Amino acid sequence: MLLLEAERDTLLFPLQIVTGVVEKRHTLPILSNVLIEKNAGVLAMTATDLEIQIRTSTQAIATEDNFAITVSAKKLLDICRALPDKANLRLEVNEGQIQIKAGKSRFNLQTLPAVDFPVIESNGETESRASLPQKTLKHLISRVQYAMAQQDIRYYLNGMLLVLNGKTIMVIATDGHRLSFASAEMEQESPPQEIIVPRKTVQELGKQLADSDDLIQIEVRKNQVAFSFARIELVSKVIEGKFPDYNRVIPNNHTNVLKVSRLALLQALQRVAILSNEKFRGVRLVLNPNELRIICNNNEQEEAQEELEVEYQGAAIDIGFNVSYLLDALNNLSCDAVQCLFGDANSSMLLVQPDDASFKYVVMPMRI
């Protein structure tokens, strides 16, 4: 039975969108599959790992019959990628297998029943709704996602806090050693809402969002959040738990202010990090008026040192940090200069952009 005939890209583009959420190793074989449906001329593809589901649809398909089928997402994607541009594909199904024909190429793949595919259903009424340009959310995510924890026993840290409050949207991530905060203004008001979005969902959004003014709709439901944009709907469970009070973590009374070129600081840190201890990644910042010395040592008694001329009139401070945490923030900013605010050698550092309160990055010191 003929399912559809289409150009390669008609299948390739939606497959590239949905395959990112497919788990490579899963106890349920059907979770390695993509659900392909055609209904009223619309071709839709869905993939899920039971925590997050992504669905995309495309107008388009000329064959008469509607159908629903599941097939290995990775194998179908690899086949489509390997075929020539503009290749015409013909998909036929026969006795539990799907056959893909393109020119003189033939591929037979096993299928599993579409009725067994675990679609995540919409979970009740929408509690809060917001919309903003895709590029704004993409930008916010890029500013904080590197600070999310990875497989922390404090499960609520393995994600990003999304806060809707009137016309303001805020995103916060922390792994307990550093905290990143970013905010933006929206055109329309939204009821107050706080949810923790899982790490994988955040990363998938970061990949899928376009750098455009096209809108993304955010719908918060009970234990669920949905993001709709550009013929894509991404539905995710949210993490239950109490996120740390970020307002208490962000210092507001540091008086020692260092102003320095972001690029100069970034490059100096990258150079000294070559000789940092591979396990602890420690770097010392030694501050004196108008001077910053950056020092790294390792177990082989090797040392790297850099000196920068900076704007600084505060107290002399000798403080240690994980150099990777500093590089993460500097790499994800685009401003010319940054300000680093210090208390003393035992208190956290606050990194901000001059004259811009929409980004704050807090790093705890380490003993070196």
Nearest to 284 by CA among 325, 327, 319: 319
- Rounded CA-CA distance 184/155 in Å is 26
Residue with tokens 């675990």: 118
Joined together, the tokens standing for residue 109 give 């793949």
Annotate 136-205 with DSSP letters as a single string.
Answer: HHHHHHHHHGGGS-SS-SSGGGSEEEEEEEEEEEEEEEE-SSEEEEEEEEEEEEEEEEEEEEEHHHHHHH
Q: How do 317-322 and 282-288 pair as beta strands?
A: antiparallel
Q: How do 97-102 and 88-94 pair as beta strands?
A: antiparallel
What predicted TM-score, i.e. pTM, was given to this entire model? Answer: 0.93
Bridge partners for 68 per DSSP: 37
Mean pLDDT score, 65-94: 93
Mean pLDDT score, 103-120: 95
The CATH topology of domain 256-363 is DNA Polymerase III; Chain A, domain 2 (3.10.150)
Amino acid found at 54: I
Nearest to 70 by CA among 119, 24, 107: 119
Joined together, the tokens standing for residue 327 give 């590089």
pLDDT tens per residue across span 195-218: 999 999 999 999 999 999 999 999
Contact criterion met (CB below 8 Å) for 124 and 153? no
- Rounded CA-CA distance 351/341 in Å is 6
Joined together, the tokens standing for residue 45 give 């593809």
Residue with tokens 């959310």: 137
Q: Which pLDDT score is estimated for 61? A: 63
Q: Write out the residue limits of the CATH 3.10.150.10 domain(s) in the chain.
A: 2-116, 126-248, 256-363
> Does the structure show a pLDDT above 90 at 283?
yes
The secondary structure element, H or E, covering residue 272 is helix 262-272
Phi, psi at 48, each rounded to 5°: -155, 155
Q: Which pLDDT score is estimated for 24? A: 78
Number of H helices, E strands in the chain: 7, 23
Q: Distance between alpha carbon 172 and the CA centroid of its chain, in Å?
A: 12
Nearest to 183 by CA among 357, 1, 14: 357
Q: Which pLDDT score is estimated for 62? A: 59
Mean pLDDT score, 332-351: 96
- Rounded CA-CA distance 176/180 in Å is 11
Lowest mean pLDDT: which of 8-17, 99-108, 119-128? 119-128
Kindly report the three-state secondary structure assignment for every residue of 61-115.
CCCCCCEEEEEEHHHHHHHHHHCCCCCEEEEEEECCEEEEEECCEEEEEEEECHH
Task: Match domain 126-248 to its CATH number in 3.40.50.2300, 3.20.20.70, 3.90.1640.30, 3.10.150.10.
Answer: 3.10.150.10
pLDDT tens per residue across span 266-279: 999 999 999 999 88
Asked: is 2-116 a CATH 3.10.150.10 domain? The reply is yes
- Rounded CA-CA distance 100/36 in Å is 14
pLDDT tens per residue across span 218-252: 999 999 999 999 999 999 999 999 999 999 999 99
Q: Which residue has the higher pLDDT, 162 or 60?
A: 162
Lowest mean pLDDT: which of 74-83, 118-127, 153-162? 118-127
Q: Which pLDDT score is estimated for 275? A: 96
- Rounded CA-CA distance 67/115 in Å is 11
- Rounded CA-CA distance 213/358 in Å is 19
Contact criterion met (CB below 8 Å) for 321 and 258? no
* Length reported for the chain: 368
Percent of the chain with pLDDT over 90: 87
Nearest to 227 by CA among 246, 245, 205: 205
